[in-house]
Amino acid sequence: MRETYNSRRVYMIERLRRMGFGLATEPTGAFYVFVNAKHISTDSYALALDILEKPMSG
C-alpha cells in the first residue's frame, strides 16, 4: 500500500510542477498538497468554485 501511495504522490508532484504550480514543500506522508496558484488567480475562493463547476477535459 505504501508503494502505491508513494507513486501517486510522486506523480502528483511532477504533474503540478509541470502545470506551473509552486510547491513550498513536498508532502511526505499526506494525501493532500498545498500549491501556489497565483499564476492562475489571486482569488482562491473564486478559483476553487471555478474548478468545481467546470467539467474536466482530457
Per-residue DSSP letter, 17: H
Q: What's the half-sphere exposure (Cβ side, CA atoms, 13 Å) at 12?
A: 16
**Residue 49 has what pLDDT?**
93
Q: What's the half-sphere exposure (Cβ side, CA atoms, 13 Å) at 48?
A: 6
User: What would the 3-class secondary structure string for 27-58 be?
Assistant: CCCCCCCCCECCCCCCCHHHHHHHHHHCCCCC
Give mean pLDDT in consecutive 10-residue pieces for the chain, a chain of 58 residues.
Answer: 90 91 84 85 92 80
**pLDDT averaged over the chain?**
87
Q: Provide the whole-model pTM.
A: 0.66
pLDDT, tens digit, 9 for 90 and up, residues 10-22 = 999 999 999 888 8
